[in-house]
Amino acid sequence: MFLTTKRIIKAGFINFWRNSFVSLASILVMTITLFVIGSLIFANAMMMATLEQIRDRVDINVYFITTAAEVDILEFGDELEGLEEVEKVEFVSREQALEEFRARRAGDAIEMQALDELDDNPLQSRLRVKATDPTHYEFIAGYIDGQVNEVTTDGVPIIAKINFQENRAMIDSLTSIIASVETFGFFLTLALIAASILITFNTVRLAIYTARDEISVMRLVGASYSYIRGPFVFEGIMYGAIAGIITLVLFYPLTLWMGVPSEQFFGGGINVFTYYVENFASIFLTIMGSGIALGVVSSFLAVKKYLRM
């Protein structure tokens, strides 16, 4: 077994260097294929970062009457946070709400003047509720509606309003956009990977075509199918490994160049260079694994035709 494996590897090396032009062409095609796969990884990461930013901007607010005790509001917030559909609950006091309002309307002198003339803070305390998924907001709003008469201060219901209905159109649109983008991304990925595999297979088959006479002679002298196929499969492994290394090397300067612009474009949501460095192990395994798998499968299927001749 060791001797046979050694001969297969040696024959694979010889074929690789003997058909250097064809080997180079195969490596280039596989590099393009792996570059497409790698680009899809980064595109998916950027798409997820964008969707996450959109999700972060969507929430529902529960407003409380101005006489509501803060301890009762916080207690209800803890109850909401215990729901598995809720990601987090943030308490915004009346004072904080006033500060936020002043910051937003700082350029409106009339509103600021009117606000200064008031004896009391007219704004309400609220709970800002963020769901684990946009589809859960309807359930959360329904749960809060059911608690309106249960959440009280000195027996007086303190929930004044829930702005779910005001945000419903935006939440429904967000849910639809996320579903459409994820579906489109999935099918686009499948189409690109299928096209890449097809191109790689045809290129490797062309490389093996040059050795069809050699395969016929080996069959005539009684060589086993596995012994004939072995060197070509090993060549496929070499194609994939070399193409994988080239792809990973190419991604380093490319992501370094795109790092800062991507962070600025996505508002700090993602820096592709940081993503590349932090996830290098998984990207390495994906690229190298895909390259080697493509080489092995393509070589295995391509040589099968000539074994039947």
pLDDT band at 250 (very low <50, low <70, confident <90, very high): very high
Which runs of E-coded beta strand occur in the chain?
A: 60-64, 86-92, 126-131, 152-153, 156-157, 159-162
pLDDT at 285: 93
Q: Does the pLDDT at position 269 exceed 90?
A: no
How far from 266 is each of 50, 52, 125, 164, 263, CA to CA, in Å?
A: 7, 11, 32, 27, 5
Lowest mean pLDDT, pick from 43-52, 123-132, 203-212: 203-212
pLDDT at 280: 92
Question: Is the pTM above the cut of 0.85?
Answer: no
pLDDT tens-digit readout, 161-209: 888 777 677 677 767 777 777 787 778 777 776 776 777 677 767 766 7
Return the residue matching tokens 């950027």.
46
Q: Are 167 and 60 in contact (CB under 8 A)?
A: yes
The domain 66-157 having CATH identifier 3.30.70.3040: the answer here is yes
Every domain of the chain and the residues it spans: 2-54+174-307, 66-157
State the average pLDDT over residues 101-117. 71
pLDDT band at 154 (very low <50, low <70, confident <90, very high): confident
CA distance 291 to 304: 20
Q: Does the pLDDT at position 276 exceed 80?
A: yes
State the average pLDDT over residues 24-29. 82
pLDDT at 288: 92
pLDDT tens-digit readout, 60-98: 888 988 888 888 889 999 999 888 989 899 998 888 887
Nearest by Cα to 225 from 291, 297, 309: 309
Q: Does the pLDDT at position 105 exceed 80?
A: no
pLDDT at 225: 65
CA distance 263 to 257: 11
